[in-house]
Amino acid sequence: MRSLLFVACLSLAGCAHSTQSESPAAAPPLTAAAAMAIVQAPDRTEEDRALDEGRHPAALLEFVGVAPGMKVAELMAGAGYTIELLARAVGPTGVVYGENPQLVRERFAEKRWTDRLARPVNAKVVRLDRELDDPFPPEVTDLDAVVSNIIYHDSVWLKADRAKMNAAVFKALKPGGVYVVIDSSAKPGTGVNDVQTLHRIDELVVRDEVLAAGFQLAAESDVWRNPQDPRDWNSSPGTAGERRGTSDRFALKFVKPK
């Protein structure tokens, strides 16, 4: 496979050249078999495979509705686990944007993120070094999907302006485009009180904030649910230990009205 095309968008000018042309029309969404084939690709890293049981990556690709030729983005891509899956799904005719705030890059992800973008994946990936409340340069438009995978709660403790973040996602999506948010559930009624101590957020907060940006709720999924989770322990990857990947998680798909 050809090498992943790594475009470092450290400025608006740096991004403009890579996003001027429109992407080809997207193919139908991946089938369950196609999504599983991506997950089972033999050249995925062992580190990524170790996360699959808790992350349910094939279900994620299906829930997003990703397809070859699409333009998709991920907020706070971290070290790029989800980005690589999305890149494999959209293929050489699509494009994937991976956004990471400065604090995340500097404290947690820079080396692994850079290494990820050098991997031989047959797709175009655009690196966006930007903050969550301004995640996309103006040239990034007509996206088919934006994914927030277990990081919405982080936007709270990072003190991002979530209204601006959600408005930016709304603006960047094409009409009919989807915004998928998956995160670890806090107990109902706790609001944002547990975002830093337990790395969880009240589902109702997410629903209300995203709907306030103009989105409509299109679908939910129980794939990531765990009714046995008492929601009273820290689900952070560095703290959860053997319980990593077992937190009760809500999965919401919002759509930008046509």
pLDDT of residue 168: 98
Quick one: which of 64, 121, 72, 119 has its CA closest to 99?
A: 72
The predicted pLDDT at position 204 comes to 98
Q: What is the largest CA-CA distance in the chain?
A: 49
Distance CA 69, CA 49 (A): 25
Integer CA distances (angstroms), 80 to 48, 150, 193, in order: 10, 13, 28
Cα angle 205, 76, 36 (rounded to 5 degrees) comes to 95
Residue ranges of the domains in the chain? 5-17+26-255
State residue 26's pLDDT score.
52
Please say whether the structural domain 5-17+26-255 has been given the CATH code 3.40.50.970. no
pLDDT means per 10 residues, the chain with 258 residues, are: 39 36 64 97 95 97 97 97 96 96 93 90 89 97 98 96 98 98 98 96 98 98 97 92 94 97
In this prediction, residue 119 carries a pLDDT of: 84
pLDDT at position 240: 87
Strand blocks (E) in the chain = 5-9, 71-74, 95-100, 124-129, 143-149, 173-184, 216-221, 249-255
Parallel/antiparallel/unpaired status of strands 173-184 and 249-255 = antiparallel
The predicted pLDDT at position 44 comes to 95
Task: Give the C-alpha separation, 221 to 120, whole Å.
Answer: 32
d(CA 19, CA 33): 31
Per the confidence metrics, is the pTM higher than 0.85? yes
Alpha carbon distance 215, 151 (integer Å): 19
Segment 11-21, tens digit of pLDDT: 333 333 333 34
Question: Would you state the structure tokens that stand for residue 226, as one six-digit string?
Answer: 């765990």
For 70-103, the pLDDT digits (tens) are 999 999 999 999 999 999 999 999 999 999 999 9
Distance, C-alpha 163 to centroid of its chain: 18
Among 205, 102, 200, which Cα is nearest to 153's? 200
pLDDT at 1: 38
User: 179 to each of 11, 37, 219, 237, 253, how far by Cα in Å?
Assistant: 25, 24, 11, 24, 6
State the pLDDT at residue 123. Answer: 78
What does DSSP assign to residue 43?
A: T
